[in-house]
Chains A and B, each alone.
Chain A
């Protein structure tokens, strides 16, 4: 594993900012995208996250991390949040917040699970469920930067209706190949029967290891553990496989 490159603004204290919710878009039955207005936002790299802090009236406070979904775009920031059933924070963000509300956050955080527009090598993105969020940020940042780096995106979801960013992905982009891996229920015309991700999926829809792609894998722990192990078994150098997990 290489030493992580140092992101900008090191040494600056990551101060808490107050954002205003300016938009709320439903992405699936359990996920919404919140658009935030953040005066003075310094910008971010694709793949970074923010820390969100919620404070109750009695002063009780708690924090969670959420990946940024939008490409750098001035003072506007999109967070896509998946509701965790029984969760303390995500149901509030998904069900309670409406435009006009305010939200405390700080960031951007993370200097390893990032894609920079200077990268020209082939990129493999493997998403499990809402692990798609930081990878979609990379897809959007690539397009916004006019990058011609070849991207392959493997999206794993339980059913087609669980998939985030459906219409945007269907629309596609030149140089971006998207493959869907449904685990429970696939559309009738899908060439792949439903099932969990397997090495064949990475062979068929990923890059050969000798193309030396950088691979980004994000999703639930078991999904990331398996996928990263498959990539190494298929011959990808471990230092080219970057992972981020939740749950």
Chain B
């Protein structure tokens, strides 16, 4: 027989919203990170894409700003159980950044200022599914939320959307990142509730 929590009634999500299993809706914007927030000035910021052949493509802040911007409105799902609907971002699609990059790699390791890492299949970063985001709600992205710029991959749990992004490394083989090495799921699809290894 299915488990019932005696006396628990709960709160249903508002009409028209659909929550992934185990999640609840928040209207705040909680912060999750494993250490102090790195303070990176826009002038010091650089992003590189490195191919498996060792070729590097580098953008500085002015270079990023010169690229065509998009304003995606997306839902966020954090493995710590909160979901936030309809968040409005400004940023550059990974399709733009990867347009001139020659690669046969299928795996990506993303590294942040501060040393955080996360791994993602390349297929999950292309075709309009991922951005380098530098604006949130019409303002600069705050440092505690990953500013000056973070990866945004909203169809996966939010730990994949690395804050303070510094490098996107295209790799022939997969390598687990920070949380993926600590027992969290390698892929992290919230709709399949892939929180931990084995889920």
Q: What is the interface of chain A, defined by CB distance below 8 A to chain B?
A: 1-7, 10-14, 18, 51, 53-57, 59-65, 88, 92, 96, 101-104, 109-113, 221, 224-225, 228-229, 231-232, 238-239, 241-243, 245-247
- Which residues of the partner chain A approach B62 to less than 8 Å between Cβ atoms? none
In the bound complex, CA of A212 to CA of B130 (Å): 39
B199 within 8 A of partner (CB): yes
Could you tell me the distance in whole angstroms from the C-beta of B45 to the nearest C-beta in chain A? Answer: 17
In the bound complex, CA of A13 to CA of B12 (Å): 28
From 104 to 146 in chain B, residues with beta carbon under 8 angstroms from any chain A beta carbon are 114-117, 144
In the bound complex, CA of A238 to CA of B35 (Å): 7
Most buried by A among B2, B9, B32: B9
| A228-B37 contact given A56-B8, A56-B10, A110-B182, CB 8 Å threshold | yes
Interface residue from B7, B28, B183 paired with A111 (Cβ < 8 Å) = B183
In the bound complex, CA of A111 to CA of B34 (Å): 11
B41 within 8 A of partner (CB): no
- Which residues of the partner chain B approach A13 to less than 8 Å between Cβ atoms? 196-199
- Which residues of the partner chain A approach B34 to less than 8 Å between Cβ atoms? 1, 4, 112-113, 242-243
Contact A243 B179 (CB under 8 A): no
Interface of B is mostly: loop
Contact B9 A56 (CB under 8 A): yes
Q: What is the interface of chain B, defined by CB distance below 8 A to chain A?
A: 2-12, 21-24, 28, 30-38, 80-81, 114-117, 144, 178-179, 181-183, 195-199
Interface residue from A5, A65, A96, A245 paired with B31 (Cβ < 8 Å) = A245
| A225-B31 contact given A63-B81, A65-B81, A109-B196, CB 8 Å threshold | yes
| A88-B3 contact given A221-B31, A228-B36, A238-B38, CB 8 Å threshold | no
Contact B114 A64 (CB under 8 A): no
- Which residues of the partner chain A approach B4 to less than 8 Å between Cβ atoms? 55-57
10 closest A-B pairs by beta carbon, nearest first, are A13-B198, A1-B115, A111-B182, A228-B36, A4-B182, A63-B22, A54-B5, A221-B31, A88-B11, A54-B8
Residue of B nearest to A236 (CB): B36
In the bound complex, CA of A228 to CA of B32 (Å): 13
Residue of B nearest to A233 (CB): B36
- Which residues of the partner chain B approach A62 to less than 8 Å between Cβ atoms? 10-11, 22-24, 81
In the bound complex, CA of A245 to CA of B81 (Å): 13
Contact B3 A228 (CB under 8 A): no
In the bound complex, CA of A242 to CA of B34 (Å): 6
* Given pairs A51-B81, A60-B10, 19 additional interface contacts (CB within 8 A): A1-B35, A4-B181, A4-B182, A12-B197, A13-B198, A54-B10, A55-B4, A59-B2, A62-B24, A96-B7, A102-B6, A109-B183, A111-B182, A221-B144, A224-B31, A225-B31, A228-B36, A241-B35, A242-B34
In the bound complex, CA of A246 to CA of B199 (Å): 24
Interface residue from A11, A53, A96 paired with B22 (Cβ < 8 Å) = A53
Interface residue from A3, A60, A225, A231 paired with B12 (Cβ < 8 Å) = A60
Residue of A nearest to B8 (CB): A54
Could you tell me the distance in whole angstroms from the C-beta of A50 to the nearest C-beta in chain B? Answer: 12
In the bound complex, CA of A61 to CA of B11 (Å): 9
In the bound complex, CA of A102 to CA of B5 (Å): 7
**12 sampled A-B residue pairs with Cβ under 8 A:** A4-B181, A7-B182, A60-B12, A62-B11, A62-B23, A63-B22, A88-B10, A88-B11, A102-B6, A104-B3, A111-B181, A112-B182
In the bound complex, CA of A18 to CA of B196 (Å): 19
| A18-B10 contact given A1-B116, A110-B182, A225-B144, CB 8 Å threshold | no
Contact B115 A55 (CB under 8 A): no
Could you tell me the distance in whole angstroms from the C-beta of A14 to the nearest C-beta in chain B? Answer: 5
